[in-house]
């Protein structure tokens, strides 16, 4: 596989190193001359000097035969445009873009740049996973397939607490796929009983969250704080 | 007709002032509050006195674009100093806000040509300079 990586910052350099170690052919492109010199000491001919947003630089790197183009510069506009020309002008099979400012995710989406990876968003999700005060945590969104996996806390007094899985009323297009209890997880059967304090993982069509959460929320009038918490 | 110009540099401010004089409604957005000085008619008459609008904001921030009037714009001109910023915001104006006429300043001739093929109205000062210089230099 031939991989072009734009941007030899911490992310780009380490990605290049890992991919080369796995036996892939890599060209890393860096526009800052001093940085280029530093990286070249280690990666030698696998790094090229130039501005990857310029077409001739991409062509010199052989973008026509690239299987994968990864844009991980510190500039979101650059990453968007590198991926856009890679995909639309040169027909790159796969692209990956780094999002520096999560507020720009909407622009990546508008230009059809997928996947666009935001480190800030990833870390936020991990924090939410560790600190379930947020109630609903989106664990995974498969945008192309239009599926999501979410995690919900089962609150004391909720409809689901004490119910069998088969008796929890869920909208079509959603399914409980796992129950986390006491630090361990299991795949429930129809007659498994859900308990207050469990976390449940559901797979669903995007947009069904609002129909699902009432089953796991505390009864109306109860204080949200402390319900179902240990 | 309402014109929104992003970037109050030499190009953006000159277009803004001329369009306002010609009777168009003009709004300018720039990250630098000091760039406003380029728009003032003279020390006694400010840009706003002449009827212009000015918003401080980053071109990629949707809130700023809306505040500057992108939803009502008939013409959108991307004239910041950065090619990449211009190409991204022009596509945002075209695809997301459906601005009928979008003009983009692109210094890099290679990409100016390719994005023009993709349906953006690009203006390339570099290409114009090359053509003009060739014309004069190689004149018989």
State whether A37 and A145 are in the same domain.
no
Q: For residue range B78-109, what is the model confidence (pLDDT) as tens digits? A: 999 999 999 999 999 999 999 999 999 999 99
Residue A177 inside a domain? The answer is: yes
Contacts of A88 in chain B (CB under 8 A): 118
- pTM score of the predicted model: 0.76
Report CA dihedral (A196, A198, A201, A202) to the nearest 10 degrees: -10
Q: Do A55 and B111 touch (CB under 8 A)?
A: yes
Q: Do B84 and A110 touch (CB under 8 A)?
A: no
**Can you say whether the dihedral through the CA atoms of A32, A29, A110, A171 is positive or negative?**
negative
Last residue of a domain, one of A118, A152, A187: A118
Which domains are present in chain B? 2-137 (3.40.50.720)
Residue A124 inside a domain? The answer is: no
Contacts of B83 in chain A (CB under 8 A): 53
Max distance between CA atoms of chain A, in angstroms, equals 66
Which residues share a beta bridge with A48?
A29
- How far does the CA of residue B28 sit from the closest CA of chain A (Å)? 21
Contacts of A107 in chain B (CB under 8 A): 60, 88, 92
pLDDT at A143: 74
Which CATH number do you get for residue A206? 3.30.70.1450
Tokens, residue A161: 């607490």
State whether A148 and A104 are in the same domain.
no
A77 touches chain B (CB under 8 A): yes
pLDDT at A87: 96
Which CATH number do you get for residue A63? 3.40.50.720
State whether A108 and A176 are in the same domain.
no
State whether A97 and A144 are in the same domain.
no
Contacts of B62 in chain A (CB under 8 A): 106
* Tens-level pLDDT at each residue, chain A (230 residues): 999 999 999 999 999 999 999 999 999 999 999 999 999 999 999 999 999 999 999 999 999 999 999 999 999 999 999 999 999 999 998 999 999 999 999 999 999 998 899 888 787 777 766 654 446 777 777 777 788 888 888 988 888 999 999 999 899 999 999 999 988 889 999 899 999 989 899 999 988 888 888 888 887 655 444 443 33
State whether A65 and A98 are in the same domain.
yes
Q: For residue range A14-33, what is the model confidence (pLDDT) as tens digits? A: 999 999 999 999 999 999 99
Query: Which residue in B62, B84, B114 is closest to A55 by CB distance?
Result: B114
State whether A105 and A206 are in the same domain.
no
pLDDT at A226: 42
- What is the rounded average pLDDT of the residues B29-43? 91
State whether A20 and A101 are in the same domain.
yes
Last residue of a domain, one of A64, A86, A118: A118
State whether A150 and A205 are in the same domain.
yes
Residue A8 inside a domain? The answer is: yes
Q: How far is CA A59 from CA A10, A56, A198, A207, B47, in A?
A: 24, 5, 54, 42, 45
Query: Which residue in B88, B108, B110 is closest to A107 by CB distance?
Result: B88
- Identify the residue with better confidence: A146 or B15: B15
Last residue of a domain, one of A118, A149, A173: A118
Domain region containing A25: 2-118
Residue A230 inside a domain? The answer is: no
pLDDT at A221: 58
Residue A222 inside a domain? The answer is: no
State whether A95 and A201 are in the same domain.
no
Q: For residue range B55-64, what is the model confidence (pLDDT) as tens digits? A: 999 999 999 9
* Chain A residue with minimum CA distance to B97: A110
Contacts of B110 in chain A (CB under 8 A): 54-56
Separation CA A116–CA B23 (nearest Å): 43
State whether A105 and A141 are in the same domain.
no
Q: Which 82-141 residues of chain A touch chain B by CB within 8 A?
A: 85, 88-89, 103-104, 106-107, 110-111
State whether A33 and A71 are in the same domain.
yes
Q: Do A110 and B95 touch (CB under 8 A)?
A: yes
State whether A7 and A103 are in the same domain.
yes
pLDDT at A97: 96
* Chain A residue with minimum CA distance to B108: A54
Separation CA A192–CA A171 (nearest Å): 19
pLDDT at A148: 86
SS3 category, A186: strand
The rounded percent of chain B whose pLDDT value lies above 90 is 94
Q: Which residues contact A148 (CB under 8 A, 6 or more apart)?
A: A138, A140, A141, A142, A203, A204, A205, A206
Residue A227 inside a domain? The answer is: no
* Chain B residue with minimum CA distance to A81: B84
Separation CA B135–CA A151 (nearest Å): 67
Residue A228 inside a domain? The answer is: no
Residue A183 inside a domain? The answer is: yes
Q: Do A107 and B108 touch (CB under 8 A)?
A: no
Domain total in chain A? 2
pLDDT at B42: 83
pLDDT at A30: 97
């Amino acid at each position: 596989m031939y991989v072009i990586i734009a941007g030899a910052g911490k992310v780009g350099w380490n990605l290049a190193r890992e991919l080369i170690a796995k036996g892939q052919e890599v060209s890393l492109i860096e526009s800052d001359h001093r940085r280029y010199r530093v990286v070249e000491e280690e990666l030698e001919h696998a790094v090229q000097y130039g501005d990857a947003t310029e077409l001739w630089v991409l062509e010199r790197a052989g973008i026509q035969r690239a299987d994968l183009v990864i844009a991980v510069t510190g500039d979101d506009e650059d990453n968007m445009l590198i991926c856009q020309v890679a995909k639309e002008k040169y027909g790159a099979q796969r692209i990956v873009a780094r999002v520096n400012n999560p507020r720009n995710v909407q622009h990546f989406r508008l230009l059809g740049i997928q996947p666009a990876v935001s480190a800030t968003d990833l870390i936020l999700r991990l924090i939410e996973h560790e600190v379930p005060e947020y109630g609903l945590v989106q664990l995974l969104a498969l945008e192309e397939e239009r599926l999501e996996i979410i995690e919900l806390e089962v609150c004391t007094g909720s409809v689901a607490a004490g119910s069998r899985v088969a008796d929890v009323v869920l909208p079509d297009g959603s399914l409980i796929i796992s129950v986390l209890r006491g630090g361990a997880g299991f795949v429930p059967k129809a007659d498994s009983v859900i308990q207050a304090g469990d976390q449940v993982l559901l797979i669903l069509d995007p947009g069904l969250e609002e129909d699902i959460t009432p089953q796991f929320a505390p009864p109306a009038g109860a204080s949200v704080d402390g319900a179902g918490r240990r | 007709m309402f014109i929104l110009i992003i970037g109050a540099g030499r190009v953006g401010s000159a277009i803004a002032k001329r369009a306002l004089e010609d009777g168009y409604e003009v709004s300018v957005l720039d990250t630098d509050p000091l760039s406003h000085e380029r728009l003032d008619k003279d020390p006694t008459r400010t840009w706003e006195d002449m009827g212009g609008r000015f918003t401080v904001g980053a071109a990629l921030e949707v809130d700023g674009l809306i505040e500057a009037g992108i939803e009502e714009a008939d013409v959108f001109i991307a004239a910041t100093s950065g090619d990449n910023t211009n190409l991204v915001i022009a596509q945002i104006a075209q695809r997301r806000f459906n601005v009928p006429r979008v003009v983009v300043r692109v210094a890099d001739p290679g990409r100016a040509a390719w994005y023009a093929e993709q349906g953006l109205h690009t203006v390339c000062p570099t290409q114009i300079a090359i053509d003009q210089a060739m014309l004069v230099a190689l004149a018989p």
